[in-house]
Structure 1
Amino acid sequence: MARFAKLLTSVLVAVLYASSASAAPWPVVTRHTTHSTRIVGRDATVELQPFHPESTYETFGTEGLDHPLAKRDGFDLKGAAISFVGSKLSVGEEGLHFRSSFEGETTKNAWVRQQSNGVPFANAVANVAFNHDGKVVAFGSSFVKPSKIASHEPTVSLEDAIATAEKTLDGKFNDFPATLEFLVLDDNTVALTHVVQIRNKATGAWVEAFVDAHANKVLSITDFVSKATYRVLPIQKETLLEGFELLVDPQDTVASPDGWHSDGTTTTNTTAGNNAIAFKSSQSTGTTAASSSPLTFDYTQDAAQDPTVAANIHAAVTNAFYVVNTIHDFSYRYGFTESAFNFQNNNFGKGGQDSDRVTISVQDSAGTDNADFTTPADGSSGAMRMYLWDITNPERDGAVENDVIVHENTHGITNRLTGGGTGRCLQTTEAGGMGEGWSDNLADWTEQKSASTQDFVLGPYVVNDAAGIRSHPYSTSATTNPLTYASLQTLSITHSIGEVWANILHNVYAALVSAHGWSATARTDPTTSEGNVVFLHLFIDSLAIQPCNPTFLTGRDAWIQADANRYNGANKCLLWKQFASRGLGVNAANHNDDKTVPSDC
Structure 2
Amino acid sequence: MKKKYNLAFLFLALFLFAQNGFSQTELSKNEYGSLIQNWLQKNKGDYNLTQNDISDLQVSSAFFSKKSKINHIYVNQAYQGVPIFNAVSSVSVKDNRVFYFANAFQSNIAAKINTITPTISAQEAIASAASEYNLGALGNVSELDSKNNEYTFSKGSISNSDIPVKLVYQLTDEGELKLAWDLSINTLSGENWYSVRVDATNGEVINMNDWVISCNFGESGHTDHTGHSKTSNAFSLFKSESSLLVDGSQYNVFALPTESPNHGPIQLVSEPANPSASPYGWHDTNGVSGAEFTFTRGNNVWAQEDVDGNDGIGASPSGGASLNFNFPLNLNQEPIGYQDVSTTNLFYINNMMHDIWHVYGFDEASGNFQQNNYGNGGVGNDHVIAQSQDGSGVNNANFATPPEGNSPRMQMYLWQPASLGTPLTINSGGTLIGSVTAAVPSTGAGADGPGNITGPSATPVTANLALVNDNSAAPTEGCNPLTNGGTVAGKIAVVLRGNCNFTQKIQNAQDAGAVGVIVVNHNNPTNDPNYVPYVNMYGVTNPVFTIPSIFVNNADGMQLINALQNGDVINGTIVESPVYFKDGSLDNSIVSHEYGHGISSRLTGGSFNANCLNNREQMGEGWSDWFALMLTMKASDLPETGRGIATYSNSQGVNGPGIRPAKYSTDLAINDYTYEDTNDNTQLGVDGQGNPVNWNDITHNIGFIWGTILWDLSWKYIEKYGYDPDLFNGTGGNNKAMQLVIDGLKLQPCGVGFVDGRDALLAADIATTGGEDQCLIWEVFAARGVGVNASQGSPFNINDQVADFTMPADTDPSLANCTTLSVDEFNTKSAFSIHPNPANNVIYISTKKNLGDVNINLIDINGRVVLSKKATLLNEAELNISTLQSGMYILNVTGNNVNINTKIIKN
Q: What's the TM-score once normalised by structure 1's chain length?
A: 0.61
1:15 maps to a residue whose letter is F
CA deviation after TM superposition for structure 1 residue 283, in Å: 6.5
Aligned residue pairs total: 379
Q: 2:296 aligns with which of 234, 252, 271?
A: 271
Letter in 1 for 2:598: G
From 495, 498, 509, the counterpart of 2:714: 509
- 1:564 correspondence with 2:766: yes
How many angstroms does 1:298 deviate by?
1.1
User: Which of 594, 607, 629 in structure 2 is aligned with 1:444?
Assistant: 629
Within 2, Cα distance between the matches of 1:365 and 1:520?
A: 36
Structure 2 contact 335–583 (Cα < 8 Å) conserved: yes
Q: Secondary structure at the match of 1:277?
A: strand
1:300 shift after superposition = 2.5
Q: Conserved in 2, the CA contact under 8 Å of 1:12 and 1:376?
A: no
Q: Which amino acid aligns with 2:275?
A: T
Q: Secondary structure at the match of 1:373?
A: strand
- Inter-partner Cα distance in structure 2 for 1:582 and 1:357: 37
8 Å contact 1:320–1:399 — kept in the other structure? yes
Matching residue of 1:520: 725
* CA deviation map 1:470-497 (0-9, x unaligned): 1211000111011100111114411111
In 2, Cα distance between equivalents of 1:297 and 1:224: 18
Partner-residue secondary structure (3-state), 2:786: coil
Measured against aligned partners, the alpha-carbon deviations of 1:393-423 in whole angstroms (never above 9, x if no partner) come to: 3111110000000000000000000011121
Confirm or deny: 8 A CA contact 2:379 2:404 kept in the other structure: yes
CA–CA distance in structure 1, aligned partners of residues 617 and 746 of structure 2: 18
Kept in 1: contact 2:246–2:271 (CA 8 A): no
- The answer to whether structure 1 residue 280 and structure 2 residue 280 are counterparts is no
- Is 1:460 the equivalent of 2:647? yes
**Contact 1:475 / 1:481 at 8 angstroms: preserved in 2?**
yes
Q: CA deviation at 1:268?
A: 1.0
Q: Assess if the C-alpha contact under 8 Å between 1:12 and 1:380 holds in 2.
A: no
Structure 2 residue aligned with 1:480, among 650, 670, 691?
Answer: 670
Work out the CA distance in 1 between the residues paired with 2:392 and 2:671: 34
CA contact (8 A) 2:253 2:348 kept: yes
Does 2:347 align with 1:318? no
- State the match for 1:412 in structure 2: 598
- How do residues 383-394 of structure 1 correspond to structure 2 at under 5 angstroms? 383-392=409-418, 393-394=579-580
Asked if structure 1 preserves the Cα contact closer than 8 Å seen for 2:251 and 2:325, the reply is yes
Change in CA separation of 1:12 and 1:471 when aligned onto 2, cut-off 3 Å: farther
1:229-308 paired onto structure 2 within 5 Å: 229-241=250-262, 242-263=264-285, 264=287, 267-281=292-306, 284-290=313-319, 294-308=322-336
What pairs up with 1:180-199 in 2 under 5 angstroms? none
Q: Secondary structure at the match of 1:338?
A: coil
Q: Distance in 2 between matches of 1:14 and 1:347?
A: 13
Contact preservation (8 Å) 1:343, 1:381 = yes
Q: Secondary structure at the match of 2:780?
A: helix
What one-letter code is carried by the residue in structure 2 that aligns with 1:596? T
| Contact 1:235 1:446 (8 Å CA) reproduced | yes
**Given the alignment, which residue of 555, 568, 575 partners 2:757?**
555
SS of residue paired to 1:364: strand
Conserved in 1, the CA contact under 8 Å of 2:283 and 2:296? yes
Per-residue deviation at 1:562? 0.6
- Match in the other structure for 1:401: 587
Q: Is the CA contact 1:371–1:408 (under 8 Å) kept in the aligned structure 2?
A: yes
Does the 8 Å contact 1:12/1:377 carry over to 2? no
- Aligned counterparts of 2:382 and 2:279: Cα–Cα separation in 1: 17
Secondary structure in 2 aligned to 1:326? helix
2:702 equivalent in structure 1 = 497
Mark the CA change 1:12 to 1:457 in structure 2 (over 3 Å): closer, same or farther.
farther
For residue 355 of structure 2, the aligned residue among 321, 329, 332 is: 329
Deviations 1:37-65 (A, max 9, x none): xxxxxxxxxxxxxxxxxxxxxxxxxxxxx
C-alpha displacement of 1:224: 4.8
Aligned 8 A contact 2:643 2:657 in 1: no
CA distance in 1, matches of 2:720, 2:416: 43
SS in 2 for 1:385: strand
What's 2:689 paired with?
A: none
Q: Answer with 1 or 2: which has the greater Rg.
A: 2
The code of the aligned residue for 2:341 comes to: A
Residue 352 in structure 1 maps to residue 373 in structure 2:
no
In the alignment, the residues of structure 2 paired with residue 377 and residue 235 of structure 1 have an alpha-carbon distance, to the nearest angstrom, of 29
Q: How does 1:429-440 map to 2 (within 5 A)?
A: 429-431=616-618, 434-440=619-625
CA–CA distance in structure 2, aligned partners of residues 459 and 235 of structure 1: 15
3-state secondary structure, aligned to 1:301: coil
Cα distance between partner residues in 1 of 2:701 and 2:595: 19
The residue type equivalent to 2:707 in the other structure is: A
Q: Match for 1:249: what amino acid?
A: E
CA distance in 2, matches of 1:370, 1:357: 22
Distance 1:529 1:512 in 2: 11
Deviation by residue 1:17-40 (Cα, 9 ceiling, x = unmatched): 9xxxxxxxxxxxxxxxxxxxxxxx
TM-score by length of 2: 0.41
Distance in 2 (alpha carbons) for counterparts of 1:243 and 1:468: 21
Check conservation: 2:316, 2:343, Cα contact below 8 A: yes
Deviation at 1:293, TM superposition (A): 5.1
**CA distance in 2 between partners of 1:518 and 1:524 (Å):** 13
> Are 1:376 and 2:378 matched, yes or no?
no
CA displacement, residues 167-205 of structure 1 (integer Å, 9 cap, x when unaligned) = xxxxxxxxxxxxxxxxxxxxxxxxxxxxxxxxxxxxxxx
Aligned CA distance change for structure 1 residues 295 and 283 (closer, same or farther; 3 Å)? farther
Structure 1 residue 12 displacement after superposition: 13
Matched, 1:425 2:612: yes
In 2, distance between residues paired with 1:596 and 1:471? 25
Structure 2 counterpart of 1:594: 804
* One-letter amino acid matched to 1:14: L
Q: Secondary structure at the match of 1:378?
A: coil
Task: State the secondary structure of the residue aligned to 1:503.
Answer: helix
1:366 match: secondary structure: strand
CA contact (8 A) 1:277 1:283 kept: no
Residue 424 of structure 1: how far off its partner (Å): 1.2
Q: CA deviation at 1:444?
A: 0.7
Letter matched to residue 506 of structure 1: W
Shift in Å at residue 536 of structure 1? Answer: 0.7
Paired letter, 2:768 = R
Counterpart secondary structure, 1:230: strand
Q: Aligned partners of 1:225 and 1:450: how far apart in 2? A: 30
**1:289-341 per-position Cα deviation (integer Å, ceiling 9, x unaligned):** 11x651111123322110112xx111110001000100100110011111100
* Structure 2 residue runs without a partner (length 5+): 1-10, 18-243, 419-578, 682-694, 792-799, 816-907
Deviation for aligned residue 1:252: 0.3
Pick the structure with more helix per residue: 1
What residue in structure 2 maps to residue 37 of structure 1? none
Distance (whole Å) between structure 1 residues aligned to residue 358 and residue 341 of structure 2? 26
Q: What is the alpha-carbon distance in structure 1 between the residues aligned to residue 12 and residue 251 of structure 2?
A: 33
